[in-house]
Amino acid sequence: MPSYSMGLAARLLRVSPETVRRWTETGRLPADRAADGSRAVDGVVLAAFAEERAAGMHPLPPGTAATSVRNSFAGIVTAVRLDDVAAQVEIQSGPHHVVSVVTRESVEQLGITVGSTVTARVKSTEVHIELP
């Protein structure tokens, strides 16, 4: 079973190593001590902690319709690039940068402009996962 150093756990959780150290010192994130005195977080424990921490980080706006799409990113539009037929919409959702290409007509009908609050929903038939 893999275990993760404080630095690698911090990169995976997108926080500083000092934050991970505080979480381990207060018992919020269990860690073991290696023979050399360094701390390591068990991979299963880190995965569960990441899921728990992510729950509720991207809540949908009130009144949003129910959907089967599980990957929803509520955020703010940071850029809109219009072409004759297509539009590229960039959204910042917490630490996530989402870029979507949609029709120009959709952008105009929905009134999407820089500064608009939107929810990007991602449903895909393929997801590629790479190991570092």
pLDDT per position as a tens digit, 69-95:
677 888 899 999 999 999 999 999 888
Q: Are 114 and 77 in contact (CB under 8 A)?
A: yes
Q: What is the chain's Cα-based Rg?
A: 19
The string of pLDDT tens digits covering residues 9-61 is 998 888 899 999 999 999 999 999 877 888 999 999 999 998 888 776 656 56
Question: Two tokens at 66?
Answer: 């129910």
Q: What are 99's strand-pairing partners?
A: 90
Whole-number average pLDDT of the chain: 86
Q: How far is CA 5 from the centre of its chain?
A: 21
